[in-house]
DNA sequence: CAGTATCCTAAACGATACTG
DNA sequence: CAGTATCGTTTAGGATACTG
């Protein structure tokens, strides 16, 4: 993983670095945005519609953040009516490739997780 | 992705569901914990040492949460001195398999991201 | 060793209103 | 259309002290 750490587990310093990066690009809205750009550029309103539940503010914040980290580009088209499109950079495309399996995992396992949580809570009630 | 959605993008309802699941198991500490259990069971203090920067409280909270979602099991060993070990469930192992590439991506791209951020901020200063 | 409990601050987030 | 600005609430999370 590190290129220098040959042991079975990451060295301590790796964790803080990884943690920082995951904090920048690995939050839930960011992964959903990145996955929604996998087929090419999309406009603000398209993303807003596609990512159900995201507020206008959070979508703006997330897009600015991803642009800042070099994950996507923002292009203003001076046509009538004017509009803005977002597109993955090459680095963003590689993130998309690794993020998609995670998103698919989340979808495929949602029922199993709901189930586990219900059981855990029921057991916690009895135990106290 | 959904099994029923054949379009190029996920249906609106998928997003909220995926968002919820990612919020439960996809946060940064959770992914690091899961990855640190990939070679088998580990004890609380081992994880604390391995995941540099995590507070005792956050590690406890994260572990309880992952146990609740059925990602890992918690086992109390009544030996002297007594200790507790954590181990991935089969579902946890599949999460680990999809999370590892993301964590590796984060590590491999940290320099590139730092770079992009620096450039963005420099440009933002000039533009205002 | 492996936690729990409490306090407290900073960040995330939603709602709403306004704009080029 | 694609935002920005402001406000108020909720949540995350660190520090610290204590425990079976």
Per residue in B13-22, pLDDT (tens digit) is: 688 888 999 9
- Separation of CA B123 and C1' D4 in angstroms? 20
Yes or no: say if B22 and A107 are a contact pair by the CB < 8 Å rule: no
Contact, B3 vs B11, CB < 8 A?
A: no
pLDDT tens string B95-108: 999 999 998 999 89
Residue B8 has pLDDT above 80, yes or no: no
* Residues of chain B contacting A113 with CB distance shorter than 8 Å: 21, 24-25, 69-70, 91
Beta carbons of B69 and B49 less than 8 angstroms apart: no
**Domains of chain A: total:** 1
**For residue B3, pLDDT beyond 60:** no
A26 vs A24: CA distance, rounded Å: 6
Does residue B51 lie within any of the structural domains?
Answer: yes
The domain in which residue A76 lies consists of 12-99
Q: Is B24 part of any domain?
A: yes
Buried b / exposed e over A52-90, threshold 16 CB at 10 Å, is: bebeeeebeebbebbbbbbbbeeeeeeeeeeeebbebbe
State the Cα–Cα distance between residues A45 and A66, nearest whole angstrom. 17
> Is there a domain that residue A16 lies in?
yes
Does residue A122 belong to any structural domain of this protein?
no
Question: Domain containing B29 — which CATH number?
Answer: 1.10.10.10
- Of the residues A8, A15, A114, A116, the best mutation for testing chain B's interface (the one with the most B CB atoms within 10 Å of its CB) is A15
Instruction: Check residues 8 to 37 of chain A and report those whose beta carbon is under 7 Å from nucleic acid strand D.
Output: none
Structure tokens at B95: 């999460």
CB-count exposure of residue B127 (10 Å: 0-12, 13-18, 19+): exposed
Angle at B36 between CA A106 and CA A2, to 5 degrees: 105
Chain A residues within 8 A of B116 when measuring between CB atoms? 68-70, 91
Q: How far is A53 from chain B (nearest CA, A)?
A: 6
The strand ranges marked E within chain B are 42-43, 72-77, 83-88
For residue B69, is pLDDT > 80?
Answer: yes
For residue B111, give how far its alpha carbon lies from the nearest alpha carbon of chain A (Å): 10
pLDDT 10s digits, A40-67: 999 999 999 999 899 999 999 999 999 9
Residues above pLDDT 90, as percent of chain A: 67
CB B22 within 8 A of CB A31: yes
Mean pLDDT of chain B: 88
A20: left (phi > 0), else alpha (psi -120 to 50), else beta? alpha
Is the CB of B54 less than 7 A from some atom of nucleic acid strand D?
yes
Chain centroid to CA B59 = 12
Mean pLDDT value of segment B59-66: 97
Mean per-residue pLDDT, B45-72: 95
The answer to whether strand D lies under 7 Å from the CB of residue B76 is no
Name the residue closest to D1, CA to C1'.
A83
Across all strands, nucleotide nearest B74 (CA–C1'): C2
Assigned domain for A67 exists: yes
């Amino acid at each position: 993983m590190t290129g220098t750490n040959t042991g079975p587990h990451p060295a301590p310093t790796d964790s803080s670095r990884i943690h920082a990066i995951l904090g920048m690009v690995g939050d839930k809205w960011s992964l959903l945005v990145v996955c929604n750009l996998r087929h090419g550029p999309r406009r603000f309103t398209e993303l807003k519609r596609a990512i159900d539940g995201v507020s206008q503010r959070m979508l703006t914040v997330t897009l600015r953040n991803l642009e800042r980290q070099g994950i996507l580009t923002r292009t203003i088209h001076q046509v009538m009516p004017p509009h803005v499109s977002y597109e993955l950079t090459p680095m963003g495309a590689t993130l998309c490739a690794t993020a998609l399996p995670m998103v698919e995992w989340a979808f495929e396992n949602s029922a199993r997780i709901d189930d586990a949580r219900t059981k855990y809570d029921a057991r916690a009630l009895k135990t106290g």
